[in-house]
Structure 1
Amino acid sequence: MLPRKFRLCKNKDFRIIYRSGKSISNQFLVLYIRKNNINETRIGFSISKKIGKANERNLLKRQLREITRKFLPLIKSGYDLVFVARQRIKGLDYGNLEKSVKLLLDKGKILK
């Protein structure tokens, strides 16, 4: 589980990141990156109802949280990240999802 201090929860924070953050994408995910003024990295997830029913969306969120928890020590501090799932993510296995997240983090140059 991703510790609470590393989570983005407020709608206001998501809107700020969407508006002023840099976006990087691949066929499964879009990653919004924005530098914050605190020394912590915060991560949020947005999964549309187009992805599937609640149980499918929750499974995907749990998987993404676990993957980002693994990468947390490797991510530079002081960033806000929002992962947005695309429809093609349906049916993607855990290994490929992990590769997809790592590629986005590499592209965004936020890994140490």
Structure 2
Amino acid sequence: MRKSYRIKKELEFQKVFETRNSFANKKFVVYVMDKPEQPHFRVGISVGKKIGNAVMRNYTKRRIRQSILEFKPLLRQDVDFLVIARPQASGLPMNEVKQQLEHVFKLAGLFASKQSEEE
């Protein structure tokens, strides 16, 4: 995923947090902020130390990033969102990460209208 699709700065993370528009399941929490003026979505990923050591945290972030990349054509483009991994997300297999993220993205309404019409 290109860097233009990522939220990196602390101030940008805080802006999304301040919207208090969150959705969660047992593995992930997603905060969403609408930004109609931007050309594509941006995502921030946060994996805390409760997940494990640095290797496990990076492993989890890679899996989240890959899942988002696979969902990219289906996601709304006018949002910034944060994905926060809960401790239960540690060591999940890829298919489980993707399934859990899909669930929380549906709750958050992050899929474009085409996705919801198919179901």
Above 0.5 in TM-score? yes
Question: Match of 2:96?
Answer: 96
TM-score by length of 1: 0.94
Listed as ranges, the gaps of 5+ residues in structure 2 are 113-119
Listed as ranges, the gaps of 5+ residues in structure 1 are none
Percent of aligned pairs with the same amino acid? 25
Q: CA deviation at 1:21?
A: 4.0
Question: Match of 1:46?
Answer: 46
Question: Match of 1:80?
Answer: 80
Is the 2:60–2:91 contact (alpha carbons within 8 Å) kept by the matching residues of 1? Answer: no
Paired AA for residue 31 in structure 2 = Y
Q: Where has structure 1 moved over 3 Å in runs of 4 or more?
A: none
Cα deviation, 1:26-52, whole Å, max 9, x if unaligned, reads: 000000011123122001100101111
**Could you say what secondary structure the match of 1:50 adopts?**
helix
Residues 7-18 of structure 1 aligned to structure 2 (within 5 Å): 7-18=6-17
**Could you say what secondary structure the match of 1:83 adopts?**
strand
C-alpha separation in 2, matches of 1:104 and 1:17: 17
- Residue correspondences, number: 111
Cα deviation, 1:56-111, whole Å, max 9, x if unaligned, reads: 00011111111101111100111001000111112321111100000111111121
RMSD: 1.0
